[in-house]
Amino acid sequence: MADHGERIRLVMLGGAGVGKSCIVKRFLFGTFCDRYKSTVEDLYYREYDLGSVTLKVDMLDTSGELQFPAMRRLCIATAHAFLLVYSVTCPGSLECVKRCLDEVREQRADFQDIPIVVAGNKIDMPAVHREVRVDDVTEWLYCEMPKLRVKVMECSAKEDRNIKDVFRSYLSLSKILPEASEGSGAGAGGSSGGGLKRRSSAYVSNKGSRRSASPAVSGAEAEASGSAGPAAEPTGLSRFKPRSRSLIRRSSRKAKQQMRDANDDCHVS
Binned at pLDDT 50, 70 and 90, residue 191 comes out as very low
Q: Is the pLDDT of residue 49 over 60?
A: yes
Mean pLDDT of 99-109: 95
Domains and CATH numbers, the chain: 8-265 (3.40.50.300)
Q: Is the pLDDT of residue 93 over 70?
A: yes
Q: Which residues, 6 or more positions from 99, have their beta carbon under 8 angstroms from its beta carbon? A: none
Q: Which residues, 6 or more positions from 242, have their beta carbon under 8 angstroms from its beta carbon? A: 214, 215, 217
Mean pLDDT of 79-106: 96
User: pLDDT tens digits for 201-247?
Assistant: 333 333 343 333 333 333 433 333 444 444 443 433 333 344 444 44
**Cα(116)–Cα(82) distance, integer angstroms:** 5
Q: Strands, DSSP E only, in the chain?
A: 8-14, 41-49, 54-62, 81-87, 116-121, 150-154, 186-188
Q: Specify the pLDDT at position 186.
A: 44
**Cα(121)–Cα(153) distance, integer angstroms:** 9
- Percent of the chain past pLDDT 70, that is, above it, reads 62
pLDDT: which is higher, 51 or 257: 51
**Cα(172)–Cα(210) distance, integer angstroms:** 27
Binned at pLDDT 50, 70 and 90, residue 250 comes out as low
Q: Give me the chain's average pLDDT, please.
A: 74
Q: Specify the pLDDT at position 166.
A: 96
Question: Following DSSP, what letter does each residue of 95-106 receive, concatenated?
Answer: HHHHHHHHHHHH
Q: Is the pLDDT of residue 251 over 70?
A: no
Sheet holding 81-87, edge to edge: 41-49, 54-62, 8-14, 81-87, 116-121, 150-154, 186-188
pLDDT: which is higher, 11 or 212: 11
Q: Is the pLDDT of residue 152 over 80?
A: yes
pLDDT: which is higher, 107 or 217: 107
Binned at pLDDT 50, 70 and 90, residue 133 comes out as very high
Strand bridging mode 54-62 / 41-49: antiparallel
Mean pLDDT of 116-144: 95
Is the pTM higher than 0.75? The answer reads no
Binned at pLDDT 50, 70 and 90, residue 54 comes out as confident
Positive or negative CA dihedral for 213, 229, 30, 163? positive
**Cα(268)–Cα(111) distance, integer angstroms:** 9
**Cα(175)–Cα(160) distance, integer angstroms:** 26
User: pLDDT tens digits for 170-181?
Assistant: 988 887 654 444
